[in-house]
Amino acid sequence: MGLFGGKSGSSGASAAAVRIPRHSSGWLQLSKHLSGRDSLRILDIGPTSAGNINFITNLGHSVYMANLVEDSARPEYTMTPADGPDAGRTILDIDRFLKENLDFSGRTFDVVTLWDTADYLPAALVDPVINRLYDVMEPGGQLLALFHSKPTGDDTTFSRYHLTATDLLELQRIGGHPIRQVFTTRQVETLFKRYRSHKFFLAKDTIREVIVSR
């Protein structure tokens, strides 16, 4: 995890990496929200992107980054209880994961870019992560989430999302993590049941977008 604020220097992103442009109505709405306000605190969840850090800080906002999918695959977050209902089974240490990856020492956020993280997280982590994000967001805060409608295919490769000043996101496929679950629209609504409102956006591909308000 890391915090970045103020103006930023040159990007370290690889110019050789292939980026696939994708129209995003959700990003278009969120970018207008970012451009119309000052000194917001942004939580960007996903693979670290120097370009995204530059983009956000050049708008005058601060950004905190957490790669939850990558972190959830680390072996230190598994345990094998000696007793109880999970005795002898290898399970996720959810409390430790939340404490070490989503504890911001009292800091709260105005915007969260969750991207398609929920599709790639272990199922046991999805609800705890969504609820923890609620707890660290400011009232009225905005969260952008993407959901795949199928578990396999080129569009489901784990990707880094690069921000642009247009209605396009640039997807850089990096792989390494399979989709673990696919959510229906109703299931997405249930995931965000604690939140005040949500707005779905139609798309021409297999990715659905939703902006949720805290």
When mean pLDDT is compared across 74-88, 123-137, 154-168, the lowest value belongs to: 74-88
**What's the gap between Cα 134 and its chain centre?**
13
Pairing type for strands 78-79 and 109-115 reads unpaired
DSSP string, 111-174: EEEEETHHHHS-HHHHHHHHHHHHHHEEEEEEEEEEEESSSSSGGGS-EEEEP-SSSEEEEEE-
Position with higher pLDDT, 17 vs 59: 59
pLDDT in tens, 127-155: 999 999 999 999 999 999 999 999 998 88
Entry pTM? 0.88
Q: Is the pLDDT confidence value at 119 over 90?
A: yes
pLDDT given for residue 1 in this prediction: 54
Q: Is the pLDDT confidence value at 199 over 50?
A: yes
**Fold of the domain spanning 25-176+190-213:** Rossmann fold (3.40.50)
- Looking at residues 20-30, what average pLDDT do you find? 95
- Looking at residues 181-205, what average pLDDT do you find? 93
Q: Is the pLDDT confidence value at 201 over 90?
A: yes
